[in-house]
Structure 1
Amino acid sequence: MPGRDSAVVERFGELFHHIEDAIVEAEISEEGPVIRAVNPAFERVFGHEREAVLGELLNDVIVPEDESARAQEFDRRVAEGEQSTAIVRRETATGTREFLLRVVPNRRAASKCGFGIYSDITEQRRYEHHSRVVHRILRHNLRNDLSVILGLAESLTDNADPAVSESAALIAEHAERIASLREETRPLEQVLDSGRDVAPRSVEPICRLAVDAATGEAPANAVAVDVPEELRALAIPQLQRAVESLVENALTYAGEEPTVLVRGQATDGAVHIDVVDDGPGIPEHERGPVFDDRDITQLEHGSGVGLWLARWTAETCGGDLAYERTDDDRTVVRLVLPEPAAPG
């Protein structure tokens, strides 16, 4: 239906010209990506008129020298028909700024071409950086103050007055719980610091490494893995820790003889990594804030931090985290991740 196809092209042409994100189409050559088309937002953001950059090497126009190696890696992925998403720095009309870059191969082109979509996230990244600095300051002060509290509490546990010794023991217990929570939240910071290094990754070895790390003293064969070897997903390196945390939660809530299954499959353009257990389910006060966006009151020791780690990992990859109870009383926590586009 040529008429319909031309109408679709015309509508997407409107999107190309009016979207606020800078878009470039480039053809991969031996020297690098050659600019074939740019939208008005590209001209405005990067400060180069269309006529001046057509036929030029994209990396020479907007890529800082210290980002050239990463840019060449994106070029390689486009040439191999792979999608990429990452946070990058680029030279603009107002100086160096940070962008969320999405690279999409154009498989309908006669030659090896791809689109680069640049979303300016400089202000967002600056806010995240400031938040992390504040967090690190608070963590440092918390660690020092907890050391003082624990030291004083331990010195009072042998007090002759039972009331004093019992109170000291209670103080020490709660201080140790706070110290433990501080360590548990460290992986969350690593996800925030990951730079959204989203790339195609093999799911099966990631799941097996996660299970090996999570099982520890669990009964032999408590966790089974059913993931196709060829399954790949767009993910960040922290995906393994996210799966590990979900397996740990499943083992915690599945009782003394847990049965846990980690399975993976591709479904409708997405990759599902399910952690299934036969336990009673995650307590509502822990799952509500994560899955239903309810107000956070407190994170009890248990699955709370692990669930946030899994959710933020999925969202950083461009996916989601889901929860369900099945008809046969099993709990399923599902990481939903983008599926890489097929090469060629």
Structure 2
Amino acid sequence: MTDTVLYVTAPDAGPSADTTRSEGVLELERELERVGPRSSVECVESIEALDERVAAADCVVFEEDATGDAPPIGTVAVACTGTPLIYYGDPDHTIEADSRVDSTSIRAFEGVDGFVRRTDDSAVHLADEIAWQCGRQPRQSTAIATSDESGDRPKVARLHQMTTRLVACRSEERLLDLAIESAEDILGFDASSISLAEERDGETKLVIRAGSDEFDDISRAHDLSEGILGKTYREQRSFLLKEVADHPDARPHEDGYRSAISVPIEEFGVFQAISTDERAYDESDLEFAELLVTYVAQTLSRLRVAETLRERRERLTRLHEGTTKIVGTTDEATVYERALETTETVLELDICVFLSADLESEELVPEAYSDTMDERLARRVPLDHGIVGETYQQGEPSIIDEVVIEDPEIKGLERFKSAMTVPLGEYGVFQAVSEQSHAFDDVDLELAELLCAHVTEAIGRARAEASLVEERDRLSALFDNVPDPAVQYHLSDGEPTVRAVNDRFEEVFGFDTETVLHEDVDDYIIPPGYEDEAQQLNEALFAGETLRVVTRRRTATDVRDFLVNVVPLTAGERSVEGYAIYTDITDQKRHERALTAKNERLDEFASIVSHDLRNPLNVAQGYLELLGETGDQSHLGEIDDALDRMDELIERLLTLSRRGDVIDDTEPLEIHAVATEAWSAVDTARATLQLGENQPLEADRARLREALENLFRNSVEHGSSGSGGDRNGDANDLTITVGALEDGFFVADDGVGIPPDARQSVFETGYTTASDGTGFGLNIVDQIARAHGWIVEVTDSEAGGARFEFREGSPEDAASEPVPESTGSTDHRHPDLEPPADGGDPSA
């Protein structure tokens, strides 16, 4: 056999490089040929290469590298665990921080077995060290040198020396070869073999894996019932057969063999030594064989454990790669397919199936199964059926080493001897079966559980994703087909940006998707004055609140009233996505305001009627009192006119109240004529009516007359009173003038006038400064003016009294201009004006 020496050096420092180190390698090869003709040197330049080849090596030389390019000695020592490592270097170089390299420190360095100082002729010493480490030229210890070479002590020493190489083996093949070599060279056995237990065709066999040159049947399998070989393994005890032919258990045996030693290698196999001579072995030989086998068994155990761990690491690595593909899948069917692929290629399970739980049909349904599985097994079964049903119901994995299957519906199930079943949470079950008993162990179950945990997680994620997609599709369909404008929003930095808008949004608001996409929707549809309200809504949206708000938004044509419904994707928690739907309720709000206004008019009707009836009623009462006092009936005509006027007013007001109108049809008039009619219907005492320039106009005669009556009465009752109630003259001194303006007419008096800060308030309903006033007179005047399309303004007359000017214009109209919902009012007047508390405003 050839000893392999790995020479660890820096890159590009091998034999092909023209360097000092390459010459040293060549010198070493020449020296090794001299010392040990069966040695070869292989250069290694990286830890990865060392890991791949060290198992087959007999010795490793680490060349100290002053450049620092070679792998660290500590890393090399770890990689060479079990294989002799020689440090070949300069004593002035350091292997670790603050640690000088010399013969003492390097030998104390963990993992280094030998040290050779690098000098000009050091290749000779390195070759000797390699030869000794490989066991070709053992050093002579004091004990060996003073013993008889034919005695047992040198044999024991040499065997113990060989154990260093035995326990350092990295492969079973190398171990078995060294064991056979030791049996021949150290123990002096003529021929020997090692048979290992292996599973073949479902049975345990003993197969020869190493032997002397006399054995030409390497790999031959023996039944455990055959001869002394099988008996040794079955009973786990050693046999010394001094005469094979006479031993009853040595049947059958090979002709020509006369004596033998048979020693069990624990559960791994059997070592045998045979000879053609009778009584070739004695009890001492048996003891040496058992000692050798002890080291072989220990090393086999270590190698098997290491191999198991290595295989497990590899399987875990491959399982991780497989589960990565599974976890990254969002389609449930693909999850099952990839899970099946992983069980077959990584877990190496040939017959397996994944079943999902169908709660509607109460069945376990096969989703993916091996090609080797009988399709009759891949069938729907009840949720409580057999092993899979029990596993699903209890949620606990199981291994059954001896399966008993009784299913009259399917023939051939009896061939399956063992089963491993693992639940997939609430989603189903995984099961693997085998035609061999005890086919699954704890490692298989552990890996299967790990795989199934990832499969369960992936199924849950896939179903959640499918549910989310379904929900999004449903929302998308609703979004596209909702009859109202809708926006899909995303809150970014506290501002709603547009993800999508439907067709109706484009029609109503006039912005297409391309214009508003990824933009702040508030910049496009929020009217002036509503910015703060919009910010409050955004804060509520970000908090995940579902909102239902009546507000106003700017459309393509005008500002309109909307009912805004905002629904976040995740209700009740912070959310950055959702939908906003705008329902136009402008007509509804107008109807509500009109209805409110009508109700208010009905509420005011009684007060208005009583107010307007006061003028003719006062006239009639005055003449009746005069009639009672004097008996003069000459004023009965005036009483009759007053009653007719009352009847006319009642009929007129009832008609207008029912129709909801303020004025009736208009006609061409002259202001003097209507003013004269109105003057006659008011108790003006002895005030004087003065007519200025006449003015033609288009008006409702009855309503214009009513307005003038209220103005005349207001001047008579209030125009001659000061704020303290003192007379500033009396009504006999009051002059009321009606005249023309360029674009209208005026009514003025020479009374006390109206203060500037009260001139807007006098037109409010209920505003009065008189203790017995109703506050309707000037409000009626204002309503009649507005109904005609006039503006009425209060100013000072030339005499310092009150002057009411009527002009054509565009008056404010509460009924035609909706107000923001947040104001809670339909009042069109200035909200900051309050009536004075001192009663100094002379208005009705």
State the TM-score, normalizing by the size of structure 2. Answer: 0.17
**TM-score scaled by structure 1?**
0.39
Q: Which has the larger radius of gyration?
A: 2
Higher-helix-fraction structure: 1
